[in-house]
Amino acid sequence: MKFWRFIFAILLAAFFVIPAQTYAKSYYFPSVISDISVMPDSSISVVEKRTFTFEGSFSRIYWDIPLRSDQSVQDVALSEDDTPQVKYEEIPSPDSARPVHKFSAERQGNSEHIEAYHSSYNEDRTFTLSYTVTNAVTSYNDVSELYWQAIGKGWDARTDSAQITVHLPSAVDKNQIYVWGHGPLNGQAQIIDGSTAAFNVKNVPQNNFVEVRVLFPAALVTSGPKINETALSRIQKEEKSFQDETILRARAAYGATIASGALLILWIVFWFVVWYKNGREYYEGVPKYFHEPPSALEPALVEALITQGLRVSANAFSATILDLARKKYIQIEAQETISKGFLGLGAGSISYKYILHKDTKRYPSKKPLKDFEQALYDFIFSYAKDSDVVSIDDLKTQMKGDPFKSRNFSKTSRKW
């Protein structure tokens, strides 16, 4: 039974040793719904409805939208799905004072930084962000391509569910539409109708991205970035290689999980065998009480073996005194003292004074002492006033009063 308690204790300790998130103040996204409309001028209109679950007090949220050098973000608007709906007012730049219901939007390098201010505490809040991105669609000779990162890697919180829907400028034959999604392995891409494609995914870890790639007839986009290439075949090959890599990673992860489980089982079996052979309690034929120690070794030697060293401690000192009593070289007397209560009233308390007597009688079972036992025996009674009797209290007091002698004996005892 103790073995399984040991295994449980190790697994429980491992659970708490593994680093975990600190939940005093945190947030995550139960839902992200992104609705993307492709325009004939190669821009896209994005409406993102993002729900935050705040655990603790928060006053700022932000988005960093990745952009190419030829792209820009325009017509930014932000509102909160409250009752009634709260529209946020745009300010020129981020404000360290964090005025509630204000937001700013500015280009920072290769991203558009949108920062908004609110007041939330232990609650769910849903924000709707809308904006337009120019030059978001690239056209080739045969197809136009929208390759958009709907959830960037900058979010340091998980997303439970993400729904990304792409609307084309006009309807075409469904066979002329291609859609792929990149992100967690559980994602599902689908063509809903001749003008709509979607990508749904769940359980997106923090700092992980979600991308959607949609191809459709080039004629649907009349302006914007253009590359003189017939690209459909190349893009299909790219996506096929991505899929093969994803399958390989999935198999590797599955194999690693199986291997980890097998190693854990082998580890438990190994230690079970070790415990079964060497560590389990043996009850058959064992009496309830032991009147003799389980080994003939003296206590000081037992401690040296257990600690795998050649030194002994104060525990060995005390145990050796008891062993000398067992070997009939010392008699231990307990003198009982009863102290009265306050002003002689009450039951008072009982204390004991332990006195060591030399036992000089001869017994047939009496065996000669070993060198270290004789050294301790002589050391103890060197403090006796009549050479035969010394109390434990007097022994302690005199040892403290003569530290030089005590240290010399301690140095000698290390050689036992």
Q: Read off φ and ψ for residue 334, nearest 5 degrees.
A: -105, 110
Q: What is the pTM of this model?
A: 0.58
The span from the CA of 134 to the CA of 167, in Å, is 16
Long-range contacts formed by 21-26: CB under 8 A, 24+ apart: 23/55, 24/56, 25/55, 25/56, 25/57, 25/58, 26/55, 26/56, 26/157
Sorted by where each begins, the domain ranges of the chain are: 24-230, 299-413
Mean pLDDT, rounded, of the chain: 84
Output the CATH code of domain 24-230. 2.60.40
pLDDT of residue 413: 66
Local structure of 174: helix, strand or coil:
helix
pLDDT of residue 37: 97
pLDDT of residue 291: 57
pLDDT of residue 295: 64
Which residue positions in the chain have pLDDT lower than 70?
1-24, 83, 250, 279-296, 305, 307-312, 340-348, 364-365, 387, 413-416
Reported as a single tens digit per residue, the pLDDT across 372-413 is 788 888 888 887 777 688 888 887 887 887 777 777 777 776
| Length of the chain measured in residues | 416
Q: Read off φ and ψ for residue 410, nearest 5 degrees.
A: -60, -40
Reported as a single tens digit per residue, the pLDDT across 191-228 is 999 999 999 999 999 999 999 999 999 999 999 999 99
The span from the CA of 123 to the CA of 82, in Å, is 13
